[in-house]
């Protein structure tokens, strides 16, 4: 019995059947062949005269059955579906197929299922459109389970449409493609309109381009999904539907990837924040295990890095937000397969990364103009959980040292510290802050005197420049400095006094930065203990601002 219907491409029939059908002979270029109707060949006289009728053959148990079957075939090239063929007969089928196009059906699918699936594909449009679209969506969405879903989706789309599929960004650069296409030629046509979907017909290349929305910015777009072939009847309605379904899946995949990346970044941030919040209690096996889960090891070189962008003097070039900057740095580290944790603090990005100073310098150089200009501090090597905080404080100190110098390098590591800076780092912040509070306690309530000292050091002990910055006469500043000397019992012409005052002011500034940021709850829900660093008791006078802190260079010897 022959079931006849409208002609459709063989590729559409195979897409409806799914993975259970595969080409045994011929190649994918023949998937555009039109077929209509189907017949189950139980005896030779059932063979139809029309070569476009699909011939379905029941199981061939052995090579003899295969030979007998092909002996009865006559006339032009036919499309033959062989259901449940034993593996022993497969070689014989391929040898005897000749010009015929043979499709092998999985043995778990019986003849009746094959006939119903083929017949359903060939139903009149009013009856089959919903079924075919559902089948198409199922066939394409199966690619989303692949470890690399976008390339897998494009390959399946190319198979379904018997065409070349490509994903291009909004500049016309190929992100993924299943074959060679003249993208520059096609993109000139695409760029002429802002339509969400458009047909292409350029120099013999015909196809469909579907706009891909950006995964984050609702009003923007990522690029285009392009399906093209050099066939006069391309694209048909089926290929157009396939392109639109695939475009929707690409958008969904990109949004899921962004959400997954944001979630991973949030976890990395939480872990690093917890490590930076540790006081001198380095034994926390749970936290150490969570850090190890991200691929970081205390046995290899591990550094904490502070990346602070420098505001460009070019008015048209604004600084990227900290989220954008952390995304750039994360991708740069991942491109070199470097494990890391990352968080944003006080307009800076803080990273703990499994790399050496030299490796991070190379990454910054390799990224070039992709990254904004920045002061970059790299702390000491981390050998235990408690060292992460020390390394972070080193990196902060390095950034503040770099910010005092208008010229010179923009990256400083712990090993680059001069004598005074190394002393500050190695004594430890807790002691330095305690000593600074004791040293400056006589100036409590004398904000103008403290501000005068701050500004004096910020301008390299140049009284005129510091007075201009404060908007006062230089003699007024001299008076403030003299009064501070009197109260503290020091002489700012003595090197020891200069170092003491400056380091005390810097210690208090860095201590202020170590205070916990506001939280909805001051305690960890699980432990019942404070979840961040306890703030050092504050002195009630003005602190050196973040922008105006730094480290005095040691005098040349």
pLDDT digits (tens, 9 = 90+) for 410-434: 899 999 987 767 877 887 767 778 8
- The predicted pLDDT at position 548 comes to 35
Higher pLDDT, 313 or 226: 226
Residue 414 structure tokens? 């712990």
- Do 411 and 429 share a domain, yes or no? no
Within-domain flag for 349? yes
CATH number at residue 335: 3.30.70
Q: Contact at 8 Å (CB) between 184 and 197?
A: no
- Asked if pLDDT for residue 23 goes beyond 50, the answer is yes
User: How far does CA 163 lie from the centroid of its chain?
Assistant: 30
Task: Specify the range with the lowest mean pLDDT, choosing from 225-229, 332-336, 482-486, 518-522.
Answer: 518-522
Length of the chain: 557
- Do 283 and 403 share a domain, yes or no? yes
- Do 240 and 348 share a domain, yes or no? no
Report the first-to-last Cα separation within the chain, whole angstroms: 104
Residue 437 structure tokens? 């509070």
Q: Is 71 helix (H, G, I), strand (E, B) or coil?
A: helix
Residue 208 structure tokens? 């469909």
- Do 20 and 113 share a domain, yes or no? yes
User: Which one of 392, 417, 442 terminates a domain?
Assistant: 417
Within-domain flag for 247? yes
Task: Specify the range with the lowest mean pLDDT, choosing from 14-18, 200-204, 205-209.
Answer: 14-18
Give the pLDDT band of residue 170 (cuts 50, 70, 90).
confident
Euclidean distance between CA atoms 193 and 431, whole angstroms: 66
User: Which one of 388, 417, 446 terminates a domain?
Assistant: 417
Within-domain flag for 74? yes
- Do 540 and 516 share a domain, yes or no? yes
Between helices 237-276 and 149-161, what is the axis angle to 10°?
180
Residue 153 structure tokens? 């989706």
For residue range 426-462, list pLDDT tens digits in order.
877 677 788 888 888 898 888 899 888 888 888 888 9
Higher pLDDT, 111 or 529: 111
- Asked if pLDDT for residue 537 goes beyond 70, the answer is no
- Do 106 and 223 share a domain, yes or no? no
- Asked if pLDDT for residue 544 goes beyond 60, the answer is no
- Do 111 and 31 share a domain, yes or no? yes
- Do 231 and 297 share a domain, yes or no? no
For residue range 268-323, list pLDDT tens digits in order.
888 888 888 765 555 678 888 888 889 999 999 999 999 998 875 544 456 677 88
Higher pLDDT, 349 or 555: 349
- The predicted pLDDT at position 263 comes to 84
- The predicted pLDDT at position 318 comes to 65
- Asked if pLDDT for residue 521 goes beyond 50, the answer is no
Q: Contact at 8 Å (CB) between 161 and 222?
A: no
In the numeric block, the tokens 């810097």 are attached to 506
Euclidean distance between CA atoms 24 and 17, whole angstroms: 15
531 exposed, middle or buried (CB, 10 Å; 0-12, 13-18, 19+)? Answer: middle
Higher pLDDT, 87 or 397: 397
Higher pLDDT, 73 or 336: 336
- Asked if pLDDT for residue 353 goes beyond 90, the answer is yes
Task: Specify the range with the lowest mean pLDDT, choosing from 31-40, 107-116, 368-377, 389-398.
Answer: 107-116
Q: Contact at 8 Å (CB) between 391 and 380?
A: yes
Within-domain flag for 183? yes
- Asked if pLDDT for residue 354 goes beyond 90, the answer is yes
Within-domain flag for 233? yes
Residue 75 lies in domain: 2-123
Query: Which H or E element spans position 209?
Result: strand 205-213
- Do 170 and 293 share a domain, yes or no? no
- Asked if pLDDT for residue 504 goes beyond 70, the answer is yes
- Do 538 and 451 share a domain, yes or no? yes
- The predicted pLDDT at position 226 comes to 93
User: Which one of 417, 450, 476 terminates a domain?
Assistant: 417
Q: Contact at 8 Å (CB) between 84 and 107?
A: yes
Euclidean distance between CA atoms 169 and 171, whole angstroms: 5
Higher pLDDT, 183 or 514: 183
CB atoms within 10 A of CB 438: 10
Q: Contact at 8 Å (CB) between 85 and 93?
A: yes
Span 238-260, mean pLDDT? 86
Q: What is the pTM of this model?
A: 0.48
Within-domain flag for 147? yes
Span 222-232, mean pLDDT? 89
User: How far does CA 389 lie from the centroid of its chain?
Assistant: 27
Euclidean distance between CA atoms 484 and 200, whole angstroms: 78
- The predicted pLDDT at position 282 comes to 56
Higher pLDDT, 387 or 128: 387
- Do 400 and 492 share a domain, yes or no? no
- Do 507 and 480 share a domain, yes or no? yes
Within-domain flag for 130? no
Number of folded domains in the chain?
A: 4
Higher pLDDT, 420 or 3: 420
CATH number at residue 168: 3.30.450.40
CATH number at residue 100: 3.40.1390
For residue range 144-168, list pLDDT tens digits in order.
888 888 899 999 899 888 899 999 9
Within-domain flag for 135? no
CATH number at residue 540: 1.10.10
Task: Specify the range with the lowest mean pLDDT, choosing from 3-7, 219-223, 533-537.
Answer: 533-537
Query: Which H or E element spans position 345?
Result: strand 340-345
Give the pLDDT band of residue 405 (cuts 50, 70, 90).
low
Q: Contact at 8 Å (CB) between 103 and 22?
A: yes
Reply yes or no: is the peptide bond before residue 238 cis, omega within 30 of 0. no
């Amino acid at each position: 019995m022959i079931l006849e219907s409208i002609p459709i491409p063989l590729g559409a029939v195979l897409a409806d059947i799914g993975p259970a059908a595969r080409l045994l002979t011929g190649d994918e270029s023949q998937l555009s062949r039109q077929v209509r109707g189907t017949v189950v060949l139980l005896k030779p006289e059932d063979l139809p005269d029309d070569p476009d009728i699909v011939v379905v053959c029941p199981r061939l148990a052995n090579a003899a059955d295969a030979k007998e079957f092909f002996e009865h075939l006559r006339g032009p090239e036919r499309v033959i579906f062989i259901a449940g063929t034993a593996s022993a007969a497969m070689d014989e089928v391929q040898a005897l197929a000749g010009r015929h196009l043979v499709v092998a059906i999985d043995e778990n699918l019986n003849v009746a299922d094959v006939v119903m699936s083929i017949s359903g594909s060939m139903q009149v449009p009013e009856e089959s459109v919903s079924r075919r679209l559902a089948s198409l969506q199922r066939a394409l969405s199966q690619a989303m389970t692949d470890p690399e879903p976008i390339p897998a989706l494009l390959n399946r789309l190319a198979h379904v449409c018997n065409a070349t599929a490509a994903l291009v960004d909004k500049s016309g650069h190929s992100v993924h493609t299943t074959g060679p296409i003249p993208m520059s030629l096609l993109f000139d046509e695409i760029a002429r309109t802002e339509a969400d979907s458009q047909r292409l017909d350029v120099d013999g290349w015909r196809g469909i381009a579907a706009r891909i929305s950006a995964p984050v910015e609702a009003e923007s777009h990522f690029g285009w999904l392009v399906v093209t072939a050099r066939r006069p009847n391309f694209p048909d309605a089926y290929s157009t539907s396939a392109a639109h379904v695939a475009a929707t899946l690409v958008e969904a995949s990109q949004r899921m990837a962004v959400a997954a990346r944001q979630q991973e970044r949030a976890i990395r941030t939480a872990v690093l924040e917890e490590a930076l919040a540790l006081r001198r209690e380095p034994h926390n096996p749970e936290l150490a295990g969570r850090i190890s889960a991200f691929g970081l090891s205390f046995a290899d070189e591990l550094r904490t890095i502070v990346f602070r962008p420098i505001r460009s003097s070019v008015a048209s070039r604004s600084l990227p937000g900290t989220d954008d900057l952390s995304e750039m740095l994360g991708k740069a580290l991942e491109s070199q397969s470097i494990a890391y944790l990352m968080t944003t603090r006080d307009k800076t990005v803080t990273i703990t990364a499994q790399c050496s100073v030299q490796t991070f310098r190379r990454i910054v150089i390799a990224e070039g103009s992709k990254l904004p200009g920045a002061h970059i501090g790299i702390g000491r090597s981390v050998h235990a959980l408690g060292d992460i905080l020390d390394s972070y404080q080193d990196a902060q100190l390095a950034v503040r040292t770099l910010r005092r110098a208008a010229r010179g390098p923009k990256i400083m590591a712990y090993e680059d510290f001069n004598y005074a800076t190394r002393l500050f780092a190695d004594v430890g912040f807790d002691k330095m802050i305690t000593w600074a509070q004791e040293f400056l306690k006589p100036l409590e309530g004398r904000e103008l005197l403290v501000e005068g000292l701050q500004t004096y050091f910020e301008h390299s002990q140049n009284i005129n420049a510091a007075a201009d910055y404060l908007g006062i006469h230089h003699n007024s500043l001299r008076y403030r400095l003299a009064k501070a000397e009197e109260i503290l019992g020091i002489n700012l012409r003595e090197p020891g006094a200069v170092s003491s005052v400056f380091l005390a002011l810097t210690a208090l500034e860095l201590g202020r930065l170590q205070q916990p940021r506001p939280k909805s709850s001051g305690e960890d829900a699980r432990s019942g203990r404070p979840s961040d660093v306890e703030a050092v008791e504050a002195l009630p006078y003005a602190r050196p601002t973040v922008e105006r802190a730094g480290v005095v260079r040691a005098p040349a010897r």
